[in-house]
Structure 1
Amino acid sequence: MDSGPALRVENSATLKPLCRKTYVLDTNVLLHDPTAVNAFKQHHVVIPMTVLEELDHIKDRRDKTVSREARIAIQMIDKVVDMATPQQIQEGVEVPGSEIDGMGPGTLAIFPDQLLGDNTDVPFLDGTTDQANDNRIINVALRLQAENPNEFICLVTKDINMRIKAKGSGLLHVEDYRRDRVLDDIDLLAKGYEHIEGDFWSTISEVDTLREGDCTLHRVPRASLPGAYANQFLYDDQDFMAFVKRVDDEHVYLRCDSRDSLMNKRFWGLAPRNLEQAMAMALLDDEDVDMTVLTGPAGSGKTLLALAYGLHAILEQKKYSKLIVARSTPPIAEDIGFLPGTEEEKMAPWLAAFDDNLEILHGTDESCHGSIDYVKERANIQFKSLNFMRGRSFNNAYIIIDESQGLTQFQLKSVISRVGADSKIVVLGNLAQIDNKYISPLTSGLTYLVEKGKNYSHAGIMHVNGIVRSRLAAFAEENL
């Protein structure tokens, strides 16, 4: 009797099941991103008691930046463990909103590392005075790895030396915190312009022209310029120069410009010395651009351009009522309160570059210092520390944020969210001069802002190249 056709069995590839991992967080991760407890989705997050103790000390510091972030991190942890019992907190409490398909929610646990002691079966770093806290956090990861040999246990820290120590102590998995990375290579960072080799129009298959108000736009297929974004400049080796007005799913809309007209722009008597400066000046003067981000090496003219436009816009065009210059005080001066004088006088040592640039703009005046004082008063120039800008709102103001490369994305967001109605903000930074030990060019808030801002129709990006200080400065930037 025929039992029917035989079943045909084929080999099929089986998907590897998602592995639930355990991540032990260092204090600097929570200071870098206070919302980090929500970043690990379905995985298990462990926060050693030592981290909570460090956050407790930091939240009362005079440094308003890190103390605020410590408090936010503590509040984020409290939201998760608020109603849990001590046993649940040590085993793991579900993190709301961390579910993904096929896996349950992630969990957050507090590890009482003050109970850990030397154990001959587990590597143990002693509590020497200088390294006690780092060692206690590493010990937590080592203990979890010893107790769960078949699980993925990973220490996450932004401290390079701590990562080396952990690996040297036998910890198999140690990582930097990478959630804030928007690029794999800093060379891929948007520059605000694209140079097309040869003749641009020879690369375009079709184009049509339309009129919008007093502006003529050329519409080309998006496939011809797949990397284009709003407020980007395009130029070729011929005479072609264009500005990307907007982009949609199918087309890129270009406004043709002239290099001569860009190079003939003037702000407060300042003329561009290269094409990148000219393009930056065009972005600064664009009514539709609320935020301009200028990156580039020291001496490329970023600060001078931003300041010259501010004086032009306030004193000649009457667009804004005040010019606010702000930067974060360096770590060596965590609290400017010890310096004498008003807030502006306290900030003077960190904002001397603006006085230098005012001298450049008025150096030929008969009374240079008299002109500078007069301009400061007329333009209502105010110097602020970023540490004291939070909680305020600035309306009808032209705002310059200097030395932004040392800020985290969280810090930059909190500053930009202060910008009020009828205001423009200019963010300046040089990714080659980061003095924050936990920030690299890839994780800088400036890099994050450039990559996120390029897709916003009211933001402009420009990398200003070319050293214009002196031939010696150019040599130092390129070779030393």
Structure 2
Amino acid sequence: MAYFYEHLNENTLNLLINEYVLLKDENGNEVDTLKWDGETYQSIRCKPFKSNMFGTLKPLDNIQAFAMDSINTNDITVLYGKAGSGKTTLPLNYIMQEIEKGRFKKCYIIYSYEPLKNAKTLGFEKGDHLTKLLYYGSIGNILASKFGDMQQVEYMVERGMLDIIPTANIRGIELESDSICLVTESQNLDVYTLKTIIQRCKSGCKQIYEGDIIEQKDTNIQNIGMNRLIDVFKGNESFGCVKLKNNYRSKLSELADLM
């Protein structure tokens, strides 16, 4: 431990650029959080996300602190973990903070219109495009639960703060440099789809990809895009990837992992 702190400019742990390290003492107590930036180990001093919409969000553990740091500092962040770990809540809190402060104008939420594994589809549904997106797909329920109700989601869409795009519609569009792109349920997307999304983003567009690589693959995709995305971008100075480990939703939802 002493040698490590006396030689912070040496990559003694052989980390990739932007790779995080959680230091523990001989008793297993967590004592420090750092990341290697290619030249030195930097201490992580995670600032809370603050917005009028959600209030103040502080990390519930050091792994969430890594995730919040990556969202803040990297152009591309991949967050993966089980349900209730914060992989959607953390990005949405950051997004509202940045939009309210005027640092970004809009958030694009990209999702794959896929039913849950073994679930039946509803077939043809009446209504306009926005109604179909919000009321007949899982993304509407997700956003309504995070923002409080569906009316708030519709208000943000109408004001141009939020744009919801199915993966089927991403070809031919460009995501502006003053925007944030949040891709939900990314574990269900293949390599070609994720590659297309990244190529649609202009320089300066912050990208966040969230999903559960192991547990929630709802479709039989052999070529999982998230795995390839991590393999290609790891070690890049603009990329971060964090596995969120703890379920904070409820004790019962933790038991569901055993099913």
- What is the TM-score with the length of structure 2 in the denominator? 0.83
Residues 241-292 of structure 1: CA distance to partner in whole angstroms, max 9, x if unpaired? Answer: 212222xxxxx521123xxx42x52332222222211211111111xx1111
Moved more, 461-470 or 230-239: 230-239
What is the match of residue 467 of structure 1? Answer: 247
Is 1:328 matched with 2:112? Answer: yes
Q: Quick one: structure 1 residues 272 and 342, their matched pair in 2 at CA, closer, same or farther if it must change by over 3 Å? A: farther
Q: CA deviation at 1:235?
A: 2.1
SS of equivalent residue, structure 1 residue 456: coil
Is 1:294 matched with 2:79? Answer: yes
SS of equivalent residue, structure 1 residue 324: strand
Q: CA deviation at 1:331?
A: 5.9
What is the match of residue 240 of structure 1? Answer: 32
Task: Give the alignment partner of residue 225 of structure 2, picking from 423, 426, 445.
Answer: 445
Q: CA deviation at 1:345?
A: 2.1
What is the match of residue 143 of structure 2? Answer: 354
Residues 434-480 of structure 1: CA distance to partner in whole angstroms, max 9, x if unpaired? Answer: 122243xxx41111111222122111111111001100001112x11
Is 1:219 matched with 2:22? Answer: no
Structure 2 unaligned blocks of 5 or more = 26-30
Task: List structure 1 segments (4+ residues) > 6 angstroms apart after TM superposition.
Answer: none
C-alpha distance in 2 between matches for 1:370 and 1:326: 20
Structure 1 unaligned blocks of 5 or more = 1-198, 208-217, 247-251, 360-367
What is the match of residue 164 of structure 2? Answer: 383
Q: Quick one: structure 1 residues 372 and 438, their matched pair in 2 at CA, closer, same or farther if it must change by over 3 Å? A: closer
Is 1:254 matched with 2:41? Answer: yes
The structure richer in helix per residue is: 1
What is the match of residue 398 of structure 1? Answer: 180
C-alpha distance in 2 between matches for 1:470 and 1:449: 31
Task: Give the alignment partner of residue 278 of structure 1, picking from 65, 82, 103.
Answer: 65
Larger RCO (alpha carbons 8 Å, 6+ apart): 2
C-alpha distance in 1 between matches for 2:125 and 2:218: 22
What is the match of residue 341 of structure 1? Answer: 127
Q: Quick one: structure 1 residues 280 and 336, their matched pair in 2 at CA, closer, same or farther if it must change by over 3 Å? A: farther
C-alpha distance in 1 between matches for 2:245 and 2:17: 21
1:173-184 superposed matches below 5 A: none
C-alpha distance in 1 between matches for 2:235 and 2:122: 36
Q: Quick one: structure 1 residues 267 and 276, their matched pair in 2 at CA, closer, same or farther if it must change by over 3 Å? A: farther
Residues 280-305 of structure 1: CA distance to partner in whole angstroms, max 9, x if unpaired? Answer: 1111111xx11111111111111111
C-alpha distance in 1 between matches for 2:175 and 2:188: 23
Q: CA deviation at 1:357?
A: 1.1
SS of equivalent residue, structure 2 residue 66: helix
SS of equivalent residue, structure 2 residue 247: coil
C-alpha distance in 1 between matches for 2:103 and 2:63: 24
Q: Quick one: structure 1 residues 322 and 406, their matched pair in 2 at CA, closer, same or farther if it must change by over 3 Å? A: same
Task: Give the alignment partner of residue 435 of structure 1, picking from 218, 221, 224.
Answer: 218
C-alpha distance in 2 between matches for 1:377 and 1:300: 30
Q: CA deviation at 1:206?
A: 6.5
2:112 maps to a residue whose letter is S
C-alpha distance in 2 between matches for 1:336 and 1:322: 31
SS of equivalent residue, structure 1 residue 293: strand
1:461 maps to a residue whose letter is C
Q: CA deviation at 1:379?
A: 6.2
Would the aligned equivalents of 1:315 and 1:379 in 2 still touch at CA under 8 Å? no
1:63-78 superposed matches below 5 A: none
Q: Quick one: structure 1 residues 336 and 370, their matched pair in 2 at CA, closer, same or farther if it must change by over 3 Å? A: closer
- Look at both structures and tell me which one has the larger radius of gyration over its CA atoms: 1
C-alpha distance in 1 between matches for 2:5 and 2:34: 17
Aligned residues between the structures = 242
C-alpha distance in 2 between matches for 1:328 and 1:313: 25
SS of equivalent residue, structure 2 residue 50: coil
Q: Quick one: structure 1 residues 438 and 266, their matched pair in 2 at CA, closer, same or farther if it must change by over 3 Å? A: closer
Q: CA deviation at 1:372?
A: 5.5
Q: Quick one: structure 1 residues 340 and 450, their matched pair in 2 at CA, closer, same or farther if it must change by over 3 Å? A: same
Q: Quick one: structure 1 residues 466 and 476, their matched pair in 2 at CA, closer, same or farther if it must change by over 3 Å? A: same
Q: Quick one: structure 1 residues 282 and 338, their matched pair in 2 at CA, closer, same or farther if it must change by over 3 Å? A: same
Q: CA deviation at 1:306?
A: 0.9
SS of equivalent residue, structure 2 residue 96: helix
Q: Quick one: structure 1 residues 325 and 369, their matched pair in 2 at CA, closer, same or farther if it must change by over 3 Å? A: closer
Would the aligned equivalents of 2:49 and 2:93 in 1 still touch at CA under 8 Å? no
- What is the TM-score with the length of structure 1 in the denominator? 0.47
Q: Quick one: structure 1 residues 253 and 343, their matched pair in 2 at CA, closer, same or farther if it must change by over 3 Å? A: farther
Q: Quick one: structure 1 residues 468 and 391, their matched pair in 2 at CA, closer, same or farther if it must change by over 3 Å? A: same
Question: Equivalent pairs: percent with the same residue?
Answer: 24
C-alpha distance in 1 between matches for 2:32 and 2:64: 18
Q: CA deviation at 1:412?
A: 0.9
Q: Quick one: structure 1 residues 331 and 205, their matched pair in 2 at CA, closer, same or farther if it must change by over 3 Å? A: closer
What is the match of residue 200 of structure 2? Answer: 418
Q: Quick one: structure 1 residues 434 and 379, their matched pair in 2 at CA, closer, same or farther if it must change by over 3 Å? A: same
C-alpha distance in 1 between matches for 2:86 and 2:238: 23
1:225 maps to a residue whose letter is L
